[in-house]
């Protein structure tokens, strides 16, 4: 036992080293540093999961809380750092400045911003923006946090970052707590909490790189938690709280709206209509805080561009893109992107309406595969997009999300290429391995729809 403790302490020391290396001594183009930093954290992550998978139950209960605290500590280490692997935070601050100045972030593209409204601090941020030609794509719930960050620290970028990161840190702590409680209800080993709490991608991409999937995940876990409290078929308080949580999750990132069909068989058609209405109402109300005539048209334009213009790490899309080039001679993303989104919607309806999926206990599995299918067929899959899949996987016995969260980090090698190009060999390795492991796990576990 003493040797095990020494080994765990050593691997935790490596995780601390890796976190500091990534947070304070790495840029997006330093793939060697990225590889080493993430590698150090992965050693601790895999060591911890292995330890709990073979440890006796009494040991698990006694020490699990220390590992959870270790995951929170690694996040806190990143609190005063600039996001090392993403420059999206400049847009967050830009949107916050707009709101602080009484201007809707959906009113102008940064390149269209009237000069008479610009303050000197705007120009500093403007030069760093990677999205000057696009309207903001961030929903109003996130805009509230952006505005708060700039109001608390109006003249210091790092101060705004720390403020926004504190919000995310609190959401992360809440998500870990909810995962711990949900595993109790579903009679899963509680150490499954560590699948999310210690995952290197989750720690660095959400807290470190300031990606607000963390907010979406918190409300999604709250949605599942309240569903686990439902005891009666009639619509009750837990239904309402779950629907409100799902609406707030969609208010942070739009994706959770895709889960609404899942409830048709789970809580009955009538209840699902009420549930869906509450979710949509909460989601819609979140937009009223920034209401103006341009909000929906400009926000919709940003979403349209996402599906029809952006592409990164889209494995299956790249295959279809190649076929399109061969058949038509040009990139047909304008049709392939929306087409794959429609295919994902049909898949979600298919798995939702199967009779075998009536039990509420299957909600995490259905959410997991709905989101996984969507991401597999997306044109753009950045590393942080996988974080919600990791959270959902912690509530099941499926482990492909762990593999994916490791392989997708290899895509950072693209940013070290000068000039930039996407290494399709890396993308091919990632998708072949992940899809192969998904099929293996489905076969091993009979079927997620059986």
Q: Give the CA count within 13 Å in the CB-facing half-sphere of 77.
A: 19
Instruction: Say what the pLDDT of residue 301 is.
Output: 65
DSSP of 7-28: HHHHHHHHHHHHHHHHHHS--T
Q: Cβ distance 166 to 207 under 8 Å?
A: no
Q: Cβ distance 398 to 445 under 8 Å?
A: yes
Mean pLDDT taken over the chain:
87
Among 73-77, 234-238, 418-422, the least confident range: 234-238
Q: Is the peptide bond before 419 cis (omega within 30 degrees of 0)?
A: yes
Q: Is the pLDDT of residue 406 over 80?
A: yes
| Three-class HEC string of the chain | CHHHHHHHHHHHHHHHHHHHHHHHCCCCCCHHHHHHHHHHHHHHHHHHHHHHHHCCHHHHHHHHHHHHHHHHHHHHHCCCCCCCCCCCHHHHHHHHHHHHCCCCCCCCCHHHCCHHHCCHHHHHHHCCCCCCCCCCCCCHHHHHHHHHHHHHCCCCHHHHHHHHHHHHHHHHHHHHHHHHHHHHHCCCCHHHHHHHHCCHHHHHHHHHCCCCHHHHHHHHHHHHHHHCCCCCCCCCHHHHHHHHHHHHHHHHCCHHHHHHHHHHHHCCHHHHHHHHHHHHHHHHHHHHCCCCCCHHHHHHHHHHHHHHHCCECCHHHHHHHHHHHHHHCCCCHHHHHHHHHHHHHHHHHHHHHCHHHCCHHHHHHHHHHHHHHHHHCCCECCHHHHHHHHHHHCCCCCCHHHHHHHHHHHHHHHHHCCCCCCCHHHHHHHHHHHHHHHHHHHHHCCCCCC
Q: Is the pLDDT of residue 86 over 80?
A: yes
Instruction: Say what the pLDDT of residue 309 is.
Output: 65
Alpha-carbon distance 349 to 447, whole Å? 17
Q: Cβ distance 301 to 135 under 8 Å?
A: yes
Among 5-19, 212-226, 389-403, the least confident range: 5-19
Instruction: Say what the pLDDT of residue 171 is.
Output: 98
SS3 164: helix
Please state the separation of Cα 397 from the chain's center in Å: 20
pLDDT digits (tens, 9 = 90+) for 314-371: 888 888 888 877 777 666 666 676 778 788 888 888 887 776 656 777 899 999 999 9
Band of the pLDDT at 449, cuts 50, 70, 90? very low
DSSP lists the bridge partners of residue 312 as 380
| Two structure tokens written together for 217 | 């995940």
Residue 411 phi, psi dihedral angles, 5° rounding:
-65, -15
* Residue 102 φ/ψ region, left for φ over 0, alpha for ψ in the -120 to 50 degree band, beta for the rest: left
Q: Cβ distance 152 to 163 under 8 Å?
A: yes
Burial 355-375 (b: 16+ CB within 10 A, else e): eebeebebbbbbbbbbbbbbb
- With CA atoms as reference, report the closest residue to 66 among 48, 90, 83: 48
pLDDT digits (tens, 9 = 90+) for 198-235: 999 999 999 999 999 999 999 999 999 999 888 766 77
Alpha-carbon distance 52 to 61, whole Å? 10
| Two structure tokens written together for 195 | 């699948």
Q: Cβ distance 64 to 190 under 8 Å?
A: yes
pTM (two decimals): 0.93
DSSP lists the bridge partners of residue 380 as 312
């Amino acid at each position: 036992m003493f040797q095990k403790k020494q080994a765990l302490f050593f691997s935790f020391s490596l995780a601390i080293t890796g976190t500091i290396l990534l947070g304070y001594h790495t840029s997006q183009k330093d793939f060697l540093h990225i590889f080493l930093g993430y590698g150090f954290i992965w050693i601790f992550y895999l060591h911890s999961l292995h330890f709990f998978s073979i440890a006796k139950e009494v040991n698990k209960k006694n020490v699990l809380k220390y590992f959870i605290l270790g995951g929170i500590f690694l996040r806190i280490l990143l609190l005063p750092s600039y996001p090392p692997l993403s420059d999206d935070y400049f847009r967050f601050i830009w949107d916050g400045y707009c709101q602080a100045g009484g201007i809707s972030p959906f009113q102008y593209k940064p390149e269209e911003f009237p000069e008479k409204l610009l303050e000197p601090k705007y120009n500093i941020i403007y030069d760093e923006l990677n999205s000057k030609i696009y309207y903001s794509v961030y929903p109003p719930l996130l805009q509230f946090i952006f505005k708060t960050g700039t109001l608390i620290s109006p003249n210091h970028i790092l101060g705004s970052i720390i403020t926004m990161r504190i919000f995310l840190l609190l959401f992360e702590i809440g998500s870990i707590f909810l995962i711990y409680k949900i595993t109790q209800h579903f009679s899963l080993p509680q150490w499954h909490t560590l699948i999310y709490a210690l995952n290197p991608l989750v720690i660095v991409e959400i807290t470190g790189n300031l990606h607000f999937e963390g907010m979406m995940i918190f409300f999604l876990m709250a949605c599942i938690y309240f569903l686990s409290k439902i005891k009666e078929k009639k619509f009750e308080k837990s239904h309402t709280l779950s629907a409100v949580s799902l609406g707030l999750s969609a208010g942070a990132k739009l994706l959770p709206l895709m889960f609404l069909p899942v409830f048709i068989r789970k809580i009955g058609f009538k209840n699902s209509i009420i549930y869906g209405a509450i979710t949509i109402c909460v989601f819609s109300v979140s937009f009223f805080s920034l209401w103006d005539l341009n909000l929906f048209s400009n926000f919709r334009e940003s979403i349209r561009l996402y599906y029809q213009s952006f592409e990164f790490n889209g494995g299956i899309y790249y295959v279809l893109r190649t076929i399109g080039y061969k058949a038509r001679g040009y990139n047909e993303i304008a049709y392939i992107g929306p087409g794959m989104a429609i295919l994902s919607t049909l898949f979600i309806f298919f798995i939702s309406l199967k009779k075998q999926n009536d039990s509420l206990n299957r909600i995490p599995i259905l959410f997991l595969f709905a989101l996984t299918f969507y991401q597999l067929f997306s044109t753009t899959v950045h590393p942080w997009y996988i974080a919600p899949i990791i959270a959902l996987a912690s509530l099941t016995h499926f482990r492909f999300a762990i593999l994916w969260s490791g392989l997708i980090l290899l895509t950072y090698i693209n940013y070290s290429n000068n000039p930039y190009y996407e290494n399709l060999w890396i993308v091919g390795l990632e998708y072949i391995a992940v899809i192969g492991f998904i099929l293996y796990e489905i076969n091993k576990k009979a079927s997620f729809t059986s």
